[in-house]
Amino acid sequence: MIGDAIDNYQVELLLNDVLETHGYDFLEYSHASIKRRITRLYALDNFVSFAEFRYTIKSDKQYFKRFLEEITVNVTEMFRDPSFYKALRNDVLPVLGTYPFIRIWVAGCSTGEEAYSLAIVLKELNLLNKSLIYATDINPSVLEKAKKGMFPLNYLKQYSENYLQSGGLKDFSTYYTANYSLAKFDETLNSKMIFSTHNLVSDHSFNEFQLILCRNVLIYFDKELQHKVFNLFDGSIEKLGYLALGSKESLEFWPKAKEYKRVKMEKIWRKL
């Protein structure tokens, strides 16, 4: 598959269509990466022409669902970057544990792996009962998967290694039951989760949180949109609350960054 099939002008046409017809705004996404995803989908689904591709995306609601799912990156894993979860377990969540109630927002939760990881850590710290995890994504179909709490069994070896490296103390298999090729996670974990669609580009703040996790979402946005989303988060984090980003993301160039203090080596900042 070669990235020659669709040019920049066509990408722009398509993204304008998507905004006008479906209300999803991808115009401030990093161009190279969204172009790659569009080109990939075009090749994958064997369209004979760009015109046909464009028409299908505009007019076929069912296909647009697929477009949305394929164009947004949904690759994630449980306990991704174990040292990050170690810092949550040791430095962040015990502090939040002193609060009467903990509200957490997992923004761009995709299929839910990070929300479930977080719930496991909360459970082990005896904090899950007084916590609520709001897991949101732009994409309704990944949320359907997230709600089910079932992940492919063949990933579980990696996940349990991550879990142990992150400071997990139990036998990871106590959290799920294997069902053919899927591992179904304990329902006490998602009993404390609220799943909802939320579009970081166009939707507003909907609550105040002590912790916001948004990992590997902002890398797909241009600088300006990143700053808009930081402002949205800023308006949604309580004083002394935390913001956690992906390992290659940073608050550094955002004008209000000086109002946040970095927690040790991880990409976690505390609002001052």
CB of 174 to another protein, least distance (A): 27
Should residue 265 be labelled a site residue for another protein when binding is judged by CB under 8 A?
A: no
Whole-number Å distance between alpha carbons of 30 and 255: 20
What are the residues whose beta carbons fall under 8 Å from the beta carbon of 101, sequence distance 6 or more?
A: 130, 131, 132
Please give the torsion angle defined by the CA atoms of residues 189, 65, 223 and 269, in that order, rounded to the nearest 10 degrees: 0
Of the candidates 31, 58, 66, 130, which one interacts with another protein according to CB under 8 A? 31
What x/- string results for residues 212 through 241 when contact with another protein is judged by CB under 8 A?
----x--xx-xx------------------
Of the candidates 33, 90, 199, 205, which one interacts with another protein according to CB under 8 A? 33
What are the residues whose beta carbons fall under 8 Å from the beta carbon of 191, sequence distance 6 or more?
A: none
Should residue 169 be labelled a site residue for another protein when binding is judged by CB under 8 A?
A: no
The 3-state DSSP class for residue 271 equals strand
Of the candidates 75, 169, 265, 272, which one interacts with another protein according to CB under 8 A? 75
Should residue 32 be labelled a site residue for another protein when binding is judged by CB under 8 A?
A: yes
What are the residues whose beta carbons fall under 8 Å from the beta carbon of 140, sequence distance 6 or more?
A: 65, 197
Should residue 8 be labelled a site residue for another protein when binding is judged by CB under 8 A?
A: yes
Q: Quickly count: other Cβ atoms within 10 Å of residue 224's Cβ.
A: 9
CB of 203 to another protein, least distance (A): 23
Within 37-66, which residues bind another protein (CB under 8 A)? 37
Are 189 and 140 contacting, i.e. CB atoms less than 8 angstroms apart? no
Footprint on this chain of another protein (rule: CB under 8 A): 1-4, 8, 30-33, 36-37, 73, 75, 216, 219-220, 222-223, 246, 248-250
